[in-house]
Chains A and B, each alone.
Chain A
Amino acid sequence: MDLSRRDFIKTAAAAAALAAATGGNSIETAEAAPDAGGLKWGKAPCRFCGTGCGVLVGVRDGKIVATKGDPKAPVNKGLNCVKGYFLSKVLDGNDRLTKPLIRKGGKMVEASWDEALDLIAAKFKESIDRNGPDSVAIYGSGQWTVFEGYAAAKLFKGGIGTNNIEPNARLCMASAVTGFMTTFASDEPMGCYDDLDLGDTYFLWGANMAECHPVLFSRLIDNRLKNPKVKIIDFGTRHTRTSQMADQYIRFTPQTDLALLNGIAHIIVRDKLYDESFIKNHAVFKKGKTGIGYGLEDKFKFADDPKPITFDEYKDFLKTYTPEYVSSLSGVPVKTIEEVARLYADKERKVNSLWTMGFNQHVRGTWVNNLVYNVHLLTGKICKPGENPMSLTGQPSACGTAREVGTFTHRLPADMVVTNPEHRAKAAEIWGVDVKKIPEKPTYHATEMFRALDRGDIKVLWVQVTNPFQSMPHLNRYRKGARKGDGRFIIVSDIYPTRSTELADVILPSASWVEKEGFFGNAERRGQQWFKMVDPPGEARNDLWQTIELAKRLGYGNLFPYKYVEKEMFEEYRRFTAGGKDLAPYEAYTKERGLRWPVVDGKETLWRYAEGHDPYVKAGEVVKFYKNKKDDGKAVIWARPYEPAAESPDKQYPFWLCTGRVLEQWHTGTMTGRVPELKRAYGAAVCEIHPEDAKKLGVKQGGKVKVSSRRGSIVLTADLRGRGKAEKGNVFVAFFDENKLINELCIDAYCPISGEPDFKKCAVKLEKA
């Protein structure tokens, strides 16, 4: 299409849109306008990703009959993605779990709640008596509501007395957390989604936003339509819908993002493009251990040893990362690296970096998070409206629950950790428990938790709101481990049968989304509340109720003395958040379309650490990373080197395997897989493969290809020209498909600092099948 035609379309499109907006002709949407009779509308955040779109839910006769993008929701302003539009159907699949089920003689048999809960409590007691509290565990998720996560943390850490609590967010956001903690000493971003509208230069690092954060991507595209200066640059290892709509796609070799970011910093320092006064006032330099391993061995332990360095020492560290060296590693041309560094440093540009799993699911995930902050700190492009680094999340409350409530083994609410005696004392005081109850040592992060189950160190495991026996890496080992017997007992709470319920000894039917009252926190620190709008089917019950029922049976009912459970529990949790992560009173969230913390004196905060925006920054301080007290309120620029992936292609396994999401399916497909429209749009996982690689193998479009790693093997349909296009030597497979367990092939190597596995890189071979 030539330029004039393209512009014609845009011009005409804009005119047509304006006409539509002012009442011109337009097509009817598929759904007829519901009549007012008996239809009641409520508000809720979307059930799916971490964007946190607002949705209006229409209920008639106790049934959800419609959902619409909420025009008043600041996140999405009326827009949803295709998953969000089908929210009304995700709860209505014909195989909803409606009764507790107990495994009896190899068969799942219906049981009453009392029978199931009594059995679970007996198993917990037996295991604790015989093997101690660290033999029982709970594995939840970033889809836990704040209440559910808080109740689980309080029961396990403050009641049972074990740190055996982990969320699946360990598989998705843990590196973002350790990145934030090591650089700023406080989790969660300084910026917010307003930066998507206010900036003009966006670097996407391994983030397929068009499919995985579509509504946020639309905000970017919209910004570009308004502002001719806007540039979207997509760094990727695979050409996606995002690459297609970006202004520039920069292909790089997997794992070399570490080198690229150091290369960008090298040029910024070499050419003195940095903001000297910002660095002087707001940054310190540090280095940590190198050659830190990959966590492939059971019981792997790592502790970093941060050492302060000078700016000159940091400059020396960067000397290795010449554009030529970085180009040789990454495959990105020298000229492009130079241009990108200049764009990052351009004083006339408001620069943002955006990332998700490409950075976080990375054996050096913490480092690569640190490195992107380095570039923003060096150039002073941070804590300003329209220019910030922004970590996007994949689950609706990975931030609000997993990270902020702190449902990780090492964490307590509001950035506190079990290893700190003051933090334990504060938690014990608010929870009303003896401080000795909360163990000071973290136990297992997610991968180690499933290794412990395989070894038999954990006997009883309760899984809530997630599907680990599809989503763990090196899945064969952990699936086998779960059914080894010898006292192992698995409880799975879910709304549909999954690859995890099939391994369970007890299956509990759960309530989901608007079948219960809830609270999620999204990626821009926005907390959003909703009320229960419909009853769950059959005997299905809220996970919060399930946890409290176990607590009562274990003798910890006194930890949950609430009448209006959600509200009172929230007010208790809120006490943890004062002093920088402040949440508003519960009442406020029932009225608002969410509020971004810290909320002080009823006012939300758009930009943290920034004077005039963050109430904790004093007049004259301009920017203050006030949570990092040990470095005088400064952020840390880290010397972190490039180190190779845990497993790289070789002669025997010559391809990189990357896994991820597609637009229409979410996570392991438990919900989206029940919606016929979504299933039709993208029903089965395929293997994206480069046409030249396919040709060499004799595989044609739609033909079968056998993909094998050192851990497993799977046959998939080859896709040479799909929406995502593999680079040569790379293949991509989505992980949602319960019939194609691609995670059996993934390596369970992880970032030693965050414990987050690398689902994006392992070596595979391909054969025609």
Chain B
Amino acid sequence: MQRYLLPVAAVALSILLFAPAPAVAGDVEDLEKDAAYAEGTPPMVPHRMEPGATGEACLACHLEGKNGAPVSPHTVRLDCVQCHAQGEIKEKKPAAKKKKMLKEVK
């Protein structure tokens, strides 16, 4: 796995996301401001997911918006199903392409 190809951008963002938080002893809290900055409830997945779907499978469409898929605002978070659980299946699309890709992942 050639992870060293990762660009500086990923590192920079990850540091942003997971740098140790500074101690905030005695700070006056502005929870409203924090809430405005926080993400809300993530959308459920309105299409069928393969049981083994990982971030890579999801990003095949959600990275660039293929097949009309919404573009993910946080594509470095790779455990997509941690937040986006199976929702009501609204449309049935042929899943042939996705299946093929999953096989290759394996």
Contact: B72 with A27, CB < 8 Å?
A: yes
Q: What residue of chain B has the Cβ atom nearest to residue A8's Cβ?
A: B5
11 contacts between A and B (CB under 8 A): A9-B56, A9-B60, A9-B63, A12-B63, A17-B13, A26-B71, A73-B21, A214-B79, A228-B6, A241-B79, A680-B86
Contact: B31 with A16, CB < 8 Å?
A: no
Pairs of residues from A and B, 7 with the lowest C-beta to C-beta distance, nearest first: A26-B73, A14-B10, A13-B75, A681-B85, A228-B3, A31-B40, A68-B38
Q: Contacts A29-B43, A85-B41, A602-B25 known; A225 to B85 CB distance under 8 Å?
A: no
Contact: B14 with A16, CB < 8 Å?
A: no
Contact: B17 with A222, CB < 8 Å?
A: yes
Contacts of B83 in A (CB 8 A): 79-82, 85
Contact: A591 with B18, CB < 8 Å?
A: no
Bound Cα distance A2, B105 (Å): 8
Contact: B21 with A77, CB < 8 Å?
A: yes
**In whole Å, how far is A132's beta carbon from the nearest beta carbon of chain B?**
50
Contact: B32 with A41, CB < 8 Å?
A: yes
B26 at the interface (CB under 8 A from A): yes
Bound Cα distance A2, B75 (Å): 19
Q: Contacts A27-B71, A218-B79, A226-B14 known; A591 to B29 CB distance under 8 Å?
A: yes
Interface readout for A1-29 with B: 1 if CB under 8 Å, 0 if not?
Answer: 11100110111111111101100011101
Contacts of A20 in B (CB 8 A): 73-75
A472 at the interface (CB under 8 A from B): no
Contact: B38 with A78, CB < 8 Å?
A: yes
Give the contacting residue for B76; candidates A7, A225, A721; CB below 8 A. Answer: A225
Bound Cα distance A722, B53 (Å): 11
Contacts of B71 in A (CB 8 A): 16, 25-27
Bound Cα distance A13, B57 (Å): 13
Contacts of A221 in B (CB 8 A): 78-79
The A648-705 residues at the B interface (CB cut-off 8 A) are 663-664, 677-678, 680-682
Contacts of B35 in A (CB 8 A): 41, 56, 58, 66, 68
Give the contacting residue for B42; candidates A14, A30, A197, A215; CB below 8 A. Answer: A30
Q: A72-B34, A680-B86, A681-B86 are in contact. List 20 more A-B contacts (CB 8 A).
A: A1-B104, A12-B64, A13-B63, A27-B72, A27-B73, A29-B41, A41-B32, A41-B34, A56-B38, A68-B35, A68-B38, A85-B41, A85-B42, A86-B41, A214-B82, A245-B54, A591-B24, A591-B26, A664-B85, A682-B86
**In whole Å, how far is A603's beta carbon from the nearest beta carbon of chain B?**
8
**In whole Å, how far is A280's beta carbon from the nearest beta carbon of chain B?**
33
Q: Contacts A11-B5, A36-B32 known; A222 to B82 CB distance under 8 Å?
A: no
Contact: A677 with B18, CB < 8 Å?
A: no
A752 at the interface (CB under 8 A from B): no
Contacts of B87 in A (CB 8 A): 677, 680-681
Contact: B13 with A14, CB < 8 Å?
A: yes
Which of A7, A30, A210, A226 gathers the greatest number of chain B CB atoms within 10 Å? A226
A723 at the interface (CB under 8 A from B): yes
Interface readout for B83-102 with A: 1 if CB under 8 Å, 0 if not?
Answer: 11111100000000000010
Contacts of B20 in A (CB 8 A): 74, 194, 197
Contact: B21 with A74, CB < 8 Å?
A: yes
Give the contacting residue for B29; candidates A25, A43, A215, A680; CB below 8 A. Answer: A43
Q: What residue of chain B has the Cβ atom nearest to residue A88's Cβ?
A: B41
**In whole Å, how far is A741's beta carbon from the nearest beta carbon of chain B?**
24
**In whole Å, how far is B97's beta carbon from the nearest beta carbon of chain A?**
13
Interface size on B, residues (CB 8 A): 67
Bound Cα distance A721, B22 (Å): 44
A42 at the interface (CB under 8 A from B): yes
Q: What residue of chain A has the Cβ atom nearest to residue B30's Cβ?
A: A41
Contact: B34 with A56, CB < 8 Å?
A: yes
Contact: B79 with A210, CB < 8 Å?
A: yes
Bound Cα distance A70, B86 (Å): 24
Contact: A68 with B39, CB < 8 Å?
A: yes
Bound Cα distance A269, B64 (Å): 52
The A608-654 residues at the B interface (CB cut-off 8 A) are none
**In whole Å, how far is A1's beta carbon from the nearest beta carbon of chain B?**
5
Give the contacting residue for B7; candidates A11, A29, A224; CB below 8 A. Answer: A11
**In whole Å, how far is B26's beta carbon from the nearest beta carbon of chain A?**
6
Contact: A226 with B26, CB < 8 Å?
A: no
Q: What residue of chain B has the Cβ atom nearest to residue A68's Cβ?
A: B38
Bound Cα distance A183, B38 (Å): 41
Bound Cα distance A352, B24 (Å): 28
Contacts of B9 in A (CB 8 A): 14-15, 17-18
Bound Cα distance A81, B77 (Å): 12
Contacts of B64 in A (CB 8 A): 12
Contacts of B16 in A (CB 8 A): 21
Contact: A591 with B27, CB < 8 Å?
A: yes
**In whole Å, how far is B57's beta carbon from the nearest beta carbon of chain A?**
9
Contacts of B2 in A (CB 8 A): 3, 7
A592 at the interface (CB under 8 A from B): yes
Give the contacting residue for B54; candidates A16, A244, A604, A664; CB below 8 A. Answer: A244
**In whole Å, how far is B5's beta carbon from the nearest beta carbon of chain A?**
5
**In whole Å, how far is B39's beta carbon from the nearest beta carbon of chain A?**
6
Contact: B85 with A9, CB < 8 Å?
A: no
Contact: A14 with B31, CB < 8 Å?
A: no
Contacts of A2 in B (CB 8 A): 104
**In whole Å, how far is A26's beta carbon from the nearest beta carbon of chain B?**
3
A579 at the interface (CB under 8 A from B): no
Bound Cα distance A368, B5 (Å): 39
Q: What residue of chain B has the Cβ atom nearest to residue A584's Cβ?
A: B25
Q: Contacts A3-B1, A77-B18 known; A82 to B85 CB distance under 8 Å?
A: yes
Contacts of A217 in B (CB 8 A): 79, 82
A69 at the interface (CB under 8 A from B): yes
**In whole Å, how far is A702's beta carbon from the nearest beta carbon of chain B?**
13
Q: Contacts A13-B59, A222-B14, A225-B14 known; A593 to B21 CB distance under 8 Å?
A: yes
Q: What residue of chain A has the Cβ atom nearest to residue B64's Cβ?
A: A12
Bound Cα distance A221, B23 (Å): 25
Contacts of B54 in A (CB 8 A): 244-245
Contacts of B41 in A (CB 8 A): 29-31, 66-67, 85-86
Bound Cα distance A236, B17 (Å): 30
Contact: A723 with B52, CB < 8 Å?
A: yes
Contact: B10 with A226, CB < 8 Å?
A: yes
Contacts of B6 in A (CB 8 A): 7, 10-11, 14, 225-226, 228
Give the contacting residue for A15; candidates B5, B7, B24, B29; CB below 8 A. Answer: B7
Contacts of B51 in A (CB 8 A): 721-723
Interface readout for A28-64 with B: 1 if CB under 8 Å, 0 if not?
Answer: 0111010010010111000000000000101000000
Contact: A16 with B3, CB < 8 Å?
A: no
Bound Cα distance A602, B24 (Å): 11
Bound Cα distance A79, B54 (Å): 18
Contact: B85 with A663, CB < 8 Å?
A: yes
Which of A17, A33, A677, A723 gathers the greatest number of chain B CB atoms within 10 Å? A17
Q: What residue of chain A has the Cβ atom nearest to residue B76's Cβ?
A: A17
A565 at the interface (CB under 8 A from B): no
Contacts of A16 in B (CB 8 A): 63, 71-72, 75
Contacts of B15 in A (CB 8 A): 226
Which of B14, B37, B87 gathers the greatest number of chain A CB atoms within 10 Å? B14
Contact: A68 with B78, CB < 8 Å?
A: no
The A419-439 residues at the B interface (CB cut-off 8 A) are none
Bound Cα distance A42, B29 (Å): 10
**In whole Å, how far is B7's beta carbon from the nearest beta carbon of chain A?**
6
Q: What residue of chain B has the Cβ atom nearest to residue A604's Cβ?
A: B23
A557 at the interface (CB under 8 A from B): no
Bound Cα distance A225, B43 (Å): 24
Q: What residue of chain B has the Cβ atom nearest to residue A75's Cβ?
A: B21
